[in-house]
Amino acid sequence: MDILVLIKQVPDTEAKITVSGNKINEAGVSKWIISPYDEIALEEAIRIKEKSGGTVTAISVGDDSVQASLRQAFAMGADTAIQVKTDSYQMLDSFGIAEALLKAIEGKEYKVILAGRQGSDSDNGQVPLIMATLKDWGVVPFAKKVELKDDKAIIECEAEGGDAVYESSYPVVVTANAGLNEPRYPSLKGIMASKKKPIEVKNISELGVSGEARIEVVGFEPPPPRPAGRVIDGADAAEKAKALVKALAEEIKAL
């Protein structure tokens, strides 16, 4: 079974993010990683391959810096990697990305497309659903368990107020939720081998993506400052607890 994994490279969760002008200061980001949910999706794809054979292809849209994440995917166990190259990634919205990804895989047949449920930078979770809808493929978001039979995929996922099980025909797009698996650390051998594997580069300008952006990014700003808080005083824990409940009830009327 051939599996495609969508990889988004994002700033490390711990990285300092600053806004200068009305833009994110990307040069100031110390470390970039595979978005955590995408890493879970990649791990799932590799586990499926290890169990049932086939190949795992990792794909990412961006400038040459995303090759670092594709190499990381190799190190974890991906067989091939595609970079959809663009130097103005920020100008693309989710439709642009979805369209570019679909164009880049034209002529290839993946039975399963795995992705994280959302990127940890913008928390949208749109691209996999847009791709599936454009192609009229089955799509199941927020997967907690994936079982692939010959003729259908059985996916357990988080749903409104509970859990649901879906059956989908192929091809199917699945987005990974937390709890699907625990991603592995790449082995030293994997890391060494990842450096020699070729990355297929496709220029977005040659893919014929139509795209004028449908969403305008007006600008970024620092988070609004939270009003100054105060420490609840008291001689002991009991006094502080009483003073806190009083403050919740009377000062902010939250109870």
Q: Per CB under 8 A, which of residues 25..84 are in contact with other proteins?
A: 36-37
By CB under 8 A, residue 102 contacts other proteins: no
SS3 assignment, position 31: coil
Q: Which of 114, 115, 130, 148 binds other proteins (CB under 8 A)?
A: 130
Beta carbons within 8 Å of 187's beta carbon, 6+ residues apart: 75
By CB under 8 A, residue 219 contacts other proteins: yes
Distance separating the N- and C-terminal Cα atoms of the chain: 55
Distance from chain centroid for Cα 245: 40
Is the Cβ of residue 196 or residue 226 nearer to other proteins in the bound state?
226
Q: Closest separation between CB of residue 33 and other proteins, Å?
A: 12
By CB under 8 A, residue 160 contacts other proteins: yes
Is the Cβ of residue 191 or residue 247 nearer to other proteins in the bound state?
247
Q: Which of 11, 62, 77, 183 binds other proteins (CB under 8 A)?
A: 11
Q: Is 4 within 8 Å of 125 (Cβ atoms)?
A: no
The alpha carbon dihedral of 95, 97, 101, 104 has a sign of positive
Q: Which of 63, 64, 87, 163 binds other proteins (CB under 8 A)?
A: 163
By CB under 8 A, residue 107 contacts other proteins: no
Q: Closest separation between CB of residue 254 and other proteins, Å?
A: 4
Q: Closest separation between CB of residue 164 and other proteins, Å?
A: 5
Q: Closest separation between CB of residue 79 and other proteins, Å?
A: 27
* Per-residue CA distances from 254 to 52, 226, 242, 248, 249 (Å): 54, 17, 15, 6, 6
Is the Cβ of residue 188 or residue 237 nearer to other proteins in the bound state?
237
Among candidates 14, 33, 4, 36, which has minimal Cα distance to 183? 36
Q: Which of 47, 67, 121, 191 binds other proteins (CB under 8 A)?
A: 121
Q: Closest separation between CB of residue 109 and other proteins, Å?
A: 16
Q: What are phi and psi of 153, to 5 degrees?
A: -105, 140
Q: Is 97 within 8 Å of 73 (Cβ atoms)?
A: no
